[in-house]
A and B are shown apart, each in its own frame.
Chain A
Amino acid sequence: MTEEKIEDRLKRMIASRLFLKIAPEAIEDNKSLMDDYGVDSVSLLELVVGIEEEFGIVIPDEEFSIKHFATVAALAAFVGSKMTAE
């Protein structure tokens, strides 16, 4: 699976799961999820649960780091690395 596909899946999930009023394709890879799209600590939990379900991975507590959740690009790289590891 290519990284681009992970990003598309993430955008779709972010838009639907976090009830964002924008189209998935309008989410830009390198824009801040928190500052530009209003993702907060409450919705981040939904995102974590959604990622685990969508990609079949487990995000350990030790890896809850803001750098992984800063942008779609960062998140895609993180999810990709977890998928490879598992």
Chain B
Amino acid sequence: MEQSVLIPRGRETLSGMLYQPDEEIRCGMVMCAPLFEERKSSHRVMVDAARTFAANGCAVLRFDYCGCGDSTGDFKNYSCPDWREDITCAARFMNGQTGMNRLGLLGLRLGASLAFEAARMNESFDFTVLWEPIIHGRRYFDYELRRKLIREMVTFGQSRVTRETLLKDLKDGQPIDLDGYAVTSRLFHDITTIDLIKAAAQGPRKVLLVHIAPSGAVPRELSALKEAGLDGGAHVDLISTEEDPFWNLVGLVECPSLIEKTKGWINLLTSNTGQPLNT
């Protein structure tokens, strides 16, 4: 069963979709979307994944962060700590709706980094699934700025700004437009200080890291994140799936392998043994 839901969140209201299994619920999961262009490109795969997980006994809540999508609020008033609180708020709501205490998080890209932090700060989350997390925020933000320049190049024939001028605006307290989102100095700071490897020693306890690419080896930084988590005493599995980076593509993209592998890991985790897949 699918239903749209409104989640009270202080003065704001989060808009979401709740997917409930028709039969017994084995666990619940809050899905954490990425931001900017990646949010738009990944939307349909996230919906497909939510439906598949729900059909497999896992209740799923997808929602929009404050200031994003259909949720209330002005984007420029919010940043990463607020969205982490949104995740916790969404999980509380889900617990109230389903009565399910065994809750996990699944995030993609920046949503994965937010999920990582939310789980790190709240040990009640049972598991955390990270699809291609942003490990170093500085590198990611630079990539997003370049994406803006290229969009301008395609629209106007030539980029009209440089990264240097954009960074100067941020430094001077002026928001910049990134894919229609007003990025403030505060958000810039919060994103560019993301360093999951540094934080992994006190990170979430049961983690599935997923590398998604049509070919090639697992990036070193993802392996380093796994090692840092293991060093901190967490159970961390790292798997690859040979599919296209759907968050970066325009058009119809399906990711059956990604969804099935994730479903398999959750199944093992929530089975009687409670032991995650060790791949």
Select B147's contact among A19, A34, A41, A61, beta carbons within 8 Å: A41
B154 contacts A34, CB within 8 Å? yes
Output the least CB separation between A86 and chain B (Å).
19
| Residues in chain A near residue B215, CB distance under 8 A | 16
Surface stretch bound by B, among A2-10, A23-31, A43-51, A71-79: A43-51
Q: A40-B250, A42-B248, A46-B248 are in contact. Are A64 and B149 (CB under 8 A)?
A: yes
Residue A36 interfacial (CB < 8 Å): no
Q: A45-B150, A69-B153 are in contact. Are A61 and B162 (CB under 8 A)?
A: yes
| Residues in chain A near residue B123, CB distance under 8 A | none
In the assembly, what is the distance between CA of A69 and CA of B159, in Å? 13
Residue A66 interfacial (CB < 8 Å): yes
Q: Mark A6-24, 1 if CB is under 8 A from B, else 0.
A: 0000000000100100000
Q: Mark B185-229, 1 if CB is under 8 A from A, else 0.
A: 000000000000000000000000000001100000000000000
A65 contacts B41, CB within 8 Å? no
Output the least CB separation between A56 and chain B (Å).
18
Q: A19-B214, A45-B143, A45-B146 are in contact. Are A64 and B153 (CB under 8 A)?
A: yes
In the assembly, what is the distance between CA of A61 and CA of B149, in Å? 7
Output the least CB separation between B131 and chain A (Å).
18
A66 contacts B158, CB within 8 Å? yes
Count of chain A residues near B, Cβ 8 A:
20
Residue B249 interfacial (CB < 8 Å): yes
- Grouping DSSP codes into helix (H, G, I), strand (E, B) and loop, the A interface class, with mixed when no group exceeds half, is helix
| Residues in chain B near residue A67, CB distance under 8 A | 157
A42 contacts B158, CB within 8 Å? no
Nearest to B247 among chain A residues (CB) is A42
A65 contacts B154, CB within 8 Å? no
Residue B37 interfacial (CB < 8 Å): yes
| Residues in chain B near residue A69, CB distance under 8 A | 153
A41 contacts B162, CB within 8 Å? no
Residue A62 interfacial (CB < 8 Å): yes
B157 contacts A66, CB within 8 Å? yes
Residue B24 interfacial (CB < 8 Å): no
In the assembly, what is the distance between CA of A65 and CA of B81, in Å? 37
| Residues in chain B near residue A60, CB distance under 8 A | 162
What are 7 A-B pairs with beta-carbon distances under 8 A?
A19-B214, A45-B147, A45-B150, A48-B146, A48-B150, A65-B157, A65-B158
Starting from the known contacts A41-B150, A42-B249, 4 additional A-B residue pairs (CB-CB under 8 Å) come to A16-B215, A43-B248, A45-B143, A61-B146
- 7 smallest beta-carbon distances between A and B, as pairs: A61-B162, A64-B159, A64-B153, A41-B154, A41-B151, A65-B158, A66-B157
